A and B are shown apart, each in its own frame.
Chain A
Amino acid sequence: MKLSRHEVEAIAHLARLEISAEEVPVYVDNLSRIIDFVQQLERADTEGVTPMAHPLNMTQPLRDDVVTEPDQRALYQQNAQAVESGLYLVPRVIE
């Protein structure tokens, strides 16, 4: 199944990935091959079969409502690319 160029560009946008004009045809080709490959799933008879979200047959454990995390901002912000007054800086957000 061949994806269109437009579809690939739309997906790249949804995923916030920049791909250059030269790369687009390569991704169109690769993604088309992959989707073609997974298309085989169609032939499986899955009537009445529940989707398996997890191999575990378990339910969500609950934790007590207590504060366990101290303020470690200085440590965590060591990896930040741009910080000022404790805030993470990013290009202006327009609302």
Chain B
Amino acid sequence: MHGMTLAGIARALRAREFSSEELVRHLLARIERLDPELNAFITVTGDAALDAARAADAARTDGGGPLAGVPIAHKDIFCTAGVKTSCGSRMLDNFVSPYDATVVERLRDAGTIMLGKTNMDEFAMGSSNETSFYGPVRNPWDLGRVPGGSSGGSAAAVAARLVPAATGTDTGGSIRQPAALAGITGIKPTYGRVSRYGMIAFASSLDQAGVLTQTAEDAALLLTAMSGHDPRDSTSVDAPVPDYAAGLDATLEGLRIGVVEEFMDEGLDPANAAAIEAALRVLEGLGAVVRRVSLPSIGLSVPAYYVVAPAECSSNLSRFDGARFGYRAAQPRDLEDLYKRSRGEGFGAEVKRRIMTGTYVLSAGYYDAYYLKAQRVRQLIAADFRCAFEAVDIIVGPTSPTPAFELGAKVDDPVTMYLNDIYTIGVNLAGLPGLSAPCGFVDGLPVGLQIVGRAFEEGRILNVAHRFQQETDWHARAPGGAFA
């Protein structure tokens, strides 16, 4: 049961091969047994899940939506009413959200059952899930290695088949990079496609909600249910949501694929490069044509991101002050002490680093040189993509420069960690949709293929990933051993 995809589970439930309750029990037992190795979950909502499963079984007719009674997990960045929502931080360790995020509401309305909240880098800041207050998450492919971040818990849980799918968020690569390191599929839609209401904000102009799944088909099902205009989010786009599953089998004949020359140069590990090349051959075999494109300013995407994202987060995190909710330092001497110690003790080092970076780049005298400059560079990067997309329909390349690295390997120099997002970050700056699909292994560790599309062409990138997954079986591989 736990090896089944979401689509498979939905079919089986409709055919009454097993009940929601049986499935939920099975997965809860797996989580109890295996999660201590991974630390992928912060909260498991077992009782509520069983209640919901029983209700789903009782309500089952032969129809039912495609997601009825299907279990998923939510990254602990999404507010869930009546359930602890920690954002991976001591600052919110005692926080029980009074409301549901729009994403949570919509997926519940579509019939999904929440099994729990997954671990993540604190306030979504990180690329390895090592900054969580609740301890690091381990990669089920190699427990001494990171699963990627910030949606590391969701990635590990899906890779280990503790849950068939999970939500995540992606600001600079936080869905795609862990998907690549954990050998699963992950999609970040176009900025504005999915509501940010109820998704604890990190960098408002970059954050997007998405999903981590075993297949592109599963991602399509979830994305269709999650997407769409939300009047509570001024930045959510009022445009119709297509049925993303409907176009999955479209032909790739004549599809023009761009490979970014700036990415295929030095810096890319040869084994990694080989896996990408092999994937491109598969796509050519399906009728696509590959050519090189250039994104001349892409090399500045990481520095630009590390001005814009910290700037926005330094302001977004000011509300965590120990006054109305969340962590409060013991016996504050005065107001200043309340703020400084609650925030000093409540936030971890990476969060504090980014808040301070953001405060610095916005401060008087530096705003033009850093923040405005970075936003101009952002414009250049977006223009580069637009230009490239006149010549090609999708851009394909590596998701991550390396496969999963060892826990503790990159924690000394923050900048080294930041360079993990070198291929993914530009996509967030330009607001485009991107996904990662598994395309091979290097020394037994998964490698991901990134597929980027034009704005609102999620359907096309899912189609490409789906056709690729019909020709290959990388996505069907799961870590063995204890996780089999």
Contacts and interface: CB of A to CB of B under 8 A. Distances in A.
Interface of A: 3, 7-8, 11-12, 14-19, 27, 30-31, 33-35, 37-42, 44, 46, 49-56, 58, 60-61, 63, 72, 75-76, 78-82, 88, 90-93
A33 B413 contact: yes
Contacts of B95: 79
B172 to A, nearest CB: 14
A44 B234 contact: no
Given A30-B353, A76-B98, A79-B325, 7 more contacts: A27-B353, A38-B374, A58-B192, A60-B234, A81-B324, A81-B326, A91-B332
A34 B334 contact: no
A54 B336 CA distance: 34
Contacts of A92: 334-335
26 contacts: A7-B360, A15-B318, A15-B356, A16-B318, A17-B340, A18-B340, A19-B344, A34-B306, A41-B370, A41-B377, A44-B297, A44-B377, A44-B380, A46-B373, A46-B377, A46-B379, A49-B379, A51-B372, A55-B191, A55-B431, A55-B455, A56-B192, A61-B234, A78-B96, A81-B328, A92-B334
B452 to A, nearest CB: 13
Q: Across chains A and B, which 8 residue pairs bring their CB atoms closest together, nearest first?
A: A55-B431, A18-B344, A51-B375, A79-B325, A46-B376, A18-B340, A16-B339, A52-B379
Interface in B366-390: 369-370, 372-380, 382
Interface of B is mostly: helix
Interface string B310-351: 000010001001111110100011111111110111010000
Nearest to B370: A38
Contact of A91 (B234, B338, B455): B338
A34 B300 contact: no
A3 B180 CA distance: 36
A74 B307 CA distance: 40
B98 A75 contact: yes
A63 B233 CA distance: 11
Nearest to B310: A34
Nearest to B379: A52
B418 interface: yes
B353 A31 contact: yes
A11 B379 contact: no
A49 B300 CA distance: 15
A83 B309 CA distance: 34
Given A46-B373, A52-B375, A55-B382, A15 B431 contact: no
A35 B357 contact: yes
Nearest to B337: A91
Given A27-B353, A79-B95, A88-B323, A54 B205 contact: yes
B322 A81 contact: yes
Contacts of A39: 303
Nearest to B352: A17
B235 interface: yes
| Chain B interface residue number, banded | 35 or more
A41 B374 contact: yes
Contacts of B307: 38, 41
B359 interface: yes
Interface in B75-106: 94-96, 98
B98 A79 contact: yes
B83 to A, nearest CB: 13
Given A53-B375, A55-B205, A63-B231, A17 B337 contact: no
Interface in B399-415: 413-415
B323 A50 contact: no
A41 to B, nearest CB: 5
A1 B168 CA distance: 35
Contacts of A8: 356
Contacts of B70: none
A49 B381 CA distance: 11
A49 B306 contact: no
A28 to B, nearest CB: 10
A61 B235 CA distance: 9
A52 B234 contact: no
B237 interface: yes
Contacts of B455: 55
B107 interface: no
A44 B471 CA distance: 42
